[in-house]
Amino acid sequence: MSTVENIFWHILGYAAMPVIFLVGFVAVAAGSLWILSLGADRKS
Amino acid sequence: MKKLIKSFWKKLSTPSKAAAGVLLGLGFVGGIIFWGAFNTGMDATNSEAFCSGCHAPIVAEIRETIHYSNRSGVRAICSDCHVPHGWTDKIIRKVQASKELVAYALGTISTTEKFQARRGYLANREWQRMKKTDSQECRNCHDFDFMDFSEQGRRSVVQHSTALASGEKTCVDCHKGVAHRLPDMSGVEGWQ
């Protein structure tokens, strides 16, 4: 693997980490909001 | 889509009627479930069955080597040697492996013949990667500091106590083909 290719994959790899955390947050938030909408936050 | 994001943001920025404990509990449990699912997915892509999906011929070759069957019953699977064990390096390798999905879609090694024609290139790429990391994946199990030279052959003792000890050479410089058959080695340094 060339140095340029190595740098490219490292940048993409490191960029993937915040994406993983962000997607995790959004998924957990969406799930939690849905559960809340069934109970405490149900529109009366 | 914009509407969906707006509605999601509105819900996120509006205080809930639920108790703080419930909200924290949902976040805590949700976090565990997400992280568990993510790591299960990562583990699934580290399994021998997953690797065999494309690399079946080479996965079968390990059965003839000491890394598969030996007197102590310890064995290595594909990911033990080909995927870094540290989380950060593992993610980088997994992202890099997304390139291999293109090869899968194009059928680059979809037949034994295609695979055999490409194995020299694939092996070379892997040797280079291991050389760059000072054979990190070998060293996850084989620790130089605990090598008992009295148990090694004369040639191994000479090489390990000089070239390996000084860092001039790394494991993969000599130990090629320890889990697979070697490709055509013409042009490979040290194998002329």
Tell me which residue in A13, A17, A24 faces B96 most closely, judged by beta carbons. Answer: A13
Q: Contacts of residue A35 in chain B, CB cutoff 8 Å? A: 26
Range of the domain at A24: 17-44
Interface contacts A/B by beta carbons within 8 Å: 68
Mean pLDDT of B2-29: 88
| Residue A1 domain-assigned (yes or no) | no
Alpha helical stretches, state H, chain A: 3-38
Q: Are A40 and A33 in contact (CB under 8 A)?
A: no
| Residue A7 domain-assigned (yes or no) | no
- pLDDT for position B28: 95
User: CA B68, CA B112: separation in Å to the nearest integer?
Assistant: 22
Mean pLDDT of B155-180: 93
User: CA B93, CA A28: separation in Å to the nearest integer?
Assistant: 26
Q: Which CATH number do you get for residue B115?
A: 1.10.3820
What is the distance in angstroms between the CA of the first residue and the CA of the last residue of chain A? Answer: 61
> Are B12 and A39 in contact (CB < 8 Å)?
no
Q: How many domains does chain A have?
A: 1
| Residue A41 domain-assigned (yes or no) | yes
- pLDDT for position A44: 54
Looking at the predicted structure, is the pLDDT value of residue B192 above 80?
A: no
Q: What is the DSSP letter of A2?
A: -
Q: Which residues of B touch A (CB under 8 A)?
A: 8, 11-12, 16-19, 22-23, 26-27, 30-31, 33-35, 38, 88, 91-96, 125, 128-129, 132
| Residue A26 domain-assigned (yes or no) | yes
Kindly report, residue by residue over A4-37, the tens digit of the pLDDT.
888 888 888 899 899 999 999 999 999 999 998 8
- pLDDT for position B30: 93
| B13 Cβ contact list (under 8 Å, min separation 6) | none
Q: How many domains does chain B have?
A: 1
Looking at the predicted structure, is the pLDDT value of residue B78 above 70?
A: yes
Disruptive mutation site among A2, A28, A35 for chain B (greatest number of B CBs within 10 Å): A28
| Residue A36 domain-assigned (yes or no) | yes
Range of the domain at B34: 23-174
Burial of B124 (0-12, 13-18, 19+ CB in 10 A): middle
> Are A1 and B129 in contact (CB < 8 Å)?
yes
- pLDDT category at A43 given cuts 50, 70, 90 is low
Nearest chain B Cα distance for residue A26, angstroms: 10
| Residue A6 domain-assigned (yes or no) | no
Q: Are A26 and B16 in contact (CB under 8 A)?
A: no
The dihedral built from the CA positions of residue B66, B134, B144 and B139, taken in this order, carries a sign that is: negative
